[in-house]
Structure 1
Amino acid sequence: MSAAALLICALLLDALLGEPRWLWDRAPHPAVLMGRLVAALDRRVNAGTHRRAKGALCAFLLCLTGVVSGWLLQHLGPFAEILIAAILLAHRSLTEHVAQVARGLRRSLPEGRRAVALIVSRDTAAMDQSQISRSAVESAAENLSDGVIAPAIWFLVAGLPGLITYKLINTADSMIGYRTPRHEAFGWAAARLDDVLNLIPARLTALLIAVPAGVADARGIRADAAKHRSPNAGWPEAAMSRALGIALAGPRAYDGEMRDYPFVNPTGRKLLTSVDIEASIAMLWRAWALFVAFCTVIVAVQFLGDP
């Protein structure tokens, strides 16, 4: 089977079954194992001098681990490849986590804050309804890009080695890719490599969100994406904001410090509710369906091109 055909099967399997809780209650999830590996490297290597060089070496070791483990695992056969890809893509899990925020918010503000705290890193204790909703929608858009579309693209490009390598680097970026005294030098290589690996997927995700919603404001999406502190995360956020007619991003607090980030789609509606979260989930599934259709076209072209 081609990589595109395997990917379609993986996406459908994940959509139908989601995360088997009974399994991950008994065994560590692969993402957890990746996090443990990054944490171990951080503890043992991130000390002394030459931290940027040490961080670059660790990023190389993560890439090597991804390539070798992926190469070994793909020899288990197509069913194993489909199963592993489905576990690592986890689109349904993303939609379920975002939906939990909407359900919590409908019950009360404290429950909405508790639910959104599980999916964002910003301060949530004083969030109002709009801030909770905005955070959930932003998380939905960003994680569609770096949690689903990007690993899927790298699976198309390089099979399981590409997928696992991407997930390892993305995990490293989420753990050590911060401009803090401890990680600014050590995590620099992982953060920059993650930026490169997400360059095309982020823009493709924006397209996948915009097309089903009939959004044709490419210039506005590009302009708002450029305001974002990340070179990639702004693209899906800008597309989602226009798809729903809302303003995203804006001021928020980290570690008790308010940061005056600009709004994405500033003319959009700023009073948000759980209804907007649910609308973003619908957009996630529309983007997912369009991506499956894209993969189906690849399979069809490959089939017609075979002698």
Structure 2
Amino acid sequence: MSTAALLVLAMMLDALAGEPRWLWSRLPHPAVVMGRAVHLLDTRLNSAPAARAKGVLALALLVVGAGLLGWVLAHLGWVVQVIVAAILLAHRSLVSHVADVARGLRQSTAEGRRAVRLIVGRDVTTASDAQVARAGIESLAENFSDGVIAPAFWFLVAGLPGILIYKVVNTADSMVGYLTPRHAQFGWAAARFDDVLNWVPARLTGALLAVVGGVTGHRAQISADAGLHRSPNAGWPEAAMARALGIALAGPRSYHGTVEDLAWVNGAGRRDIGPPDIDAALSMVWKTWGLALCLVVLAGVLMCVF
């Protein structure tokens, strides 16, 4: 069975089943296992001198280990490959969490803050309804890229080794890639390699969202807005979604009690947003997921023909 066919089955399984609580309440989720591995290496290796070199070594160990594990699992048959790939995709769980933000806001600002706090790292203690909605939509756009399209892309390119390597690098970046005093040197390699692995998927996600949102004619504006984002990749899906919905994303927000005056993405867009805009973003992401699925099917057909 071709890699494209396996990916189609994995995407459909993830969309239908999501993250079954009965399973992950009994077994550690692969993301948890990866996190433990990153934490272990951080604890054992992150020290001066040569913290950056040790970070490179830690990343190499994670990549080699994930690649070998993927190679072994790939030899256990197509059923195992589909199940593992579905587990490592995160579309259903992502849209469920963001839908909870819309439902929370419809009840009260406090419920919206509680729901969005589960999916963002910023301080939302005093966030307004618009800020909560904006945080939810930004998380949806960014995580649709690095939690769905990117792992699907790397599975299509390199099978289970590819998707496992991508996921462990992405996990490492989320844990040690931030420029904190402790991880400024040790996390450098993880952050830079994550940027490399997300370069194509982020722009692909932006293009797919632009097609679905009917804003392909705004390529120059989307590119300019993406360049304003502090991330070299996250700006692309956010900019495409902002243009399609006619809203402004990013902008000032608080981290650990400090307000960061970040640039707006599509700054001329509407800033007074709420649950209906989250609903529109979710609908857009589902349609984009469907377009991506169709493209994978087409890739599978072309593989068979050629």
TMscore range, shorter length: over 0.9
- Equivalent positions of 1:183-222 (< 5 A) are 183-215=183-215, 216-222=217-223
Correspondence for 1:73: 73
Give TM-score scaled by structure 2 length. Answer: 0.99
CA–CA separation in structure 2 for the residues paired with 1:234 and 1:276: 19
Correspondence for 2:56: 56
Correspondence for 2:242: 241
CA–CA separation in structure 1 for the residues paired with 2:189 and 2:200: 19
The amino acid across from 2:34 in the alignment is: M
The amino acid across from 2:135 in the alignment is: S
Correspondence for 1:103: 103
1:20 shift after superposition: 1.0
Q: Does residue 1:269 correspond to 2:270, yes or no? A: yes
CA–CA separation in structure 1 for the residues paired with 2:94 and 2:66: 23
Correspondence for 2:152: 152
Deviations 1:63-115, CA, capped at 9 Å, x for gaps: 10111000001111001000000010021110001011111111011111011
CA contact (8 A) 2:51 2:186 kept: yes
The amino acid across from 1:282 in the alignment is: S
Deviations 1:126-183, CA, capped at 9 Å, x for gaps: 0000000000000000000000100110001100000000000000000000111100
Structure 1 unaligned segments of length 5 or more: list them.
Answer: none
SS in 2 for 1:258: strand
Deviations 1:203-231, CA, capped at 9 Å, x for gaps: 00001111011112000110011111110
1:24 shift after superposition: 0.4
- Equivalent positions of 1:1-307 (< 5 A) are 1-215=1-215, 216-305=217-306
CA–CA separation in structure 2 for the residues paired with 1:277 and 1:106: 11
SS in 2 for 1:217: helix
SS in 2 for 1:122: coil
4+ aligned runs moved over 2 Å, structure 1: none
**How many pairs align?**
305
CA–CA separation in structure 1 for the residues paired with 2:65 and 2:279: 38
Structure 2 unaligned segments of length 5 or more: list them.
Answer: none
Deviations 1:11-47, CA, capped at 9 Å, x for gaps: 0111111111100011110011111111111111111
SS in 1 for 2:10: helix
CA–CA separation in structure 2 for the residues paired with 1:262 and 1:180: 21
CA–CA separation in structure 2 for the residues paired with 1:302 and 1:165: 24
1:304 shift after superposition: 2.0
C-alpha RMSD of the superposition: 0.7
CA contact (8 A) 2:155 2:163 kept: yes
CA contact (8 A) 2:213 2:241 kept: no
The amino acid across from 1:94 in the alignment is: L
Give TM-score scaled by structure 1 length. Answer: 0.98
> Identity of aligned pairs, percent?
58
1:48 shift after superposition: 2.4
CA–CA separation in structure 2 for the residues paired with 1:14 and 1:211: 23
CA–CA separation in structure 2 for the residues paired with 1:243 and 1:21: 34
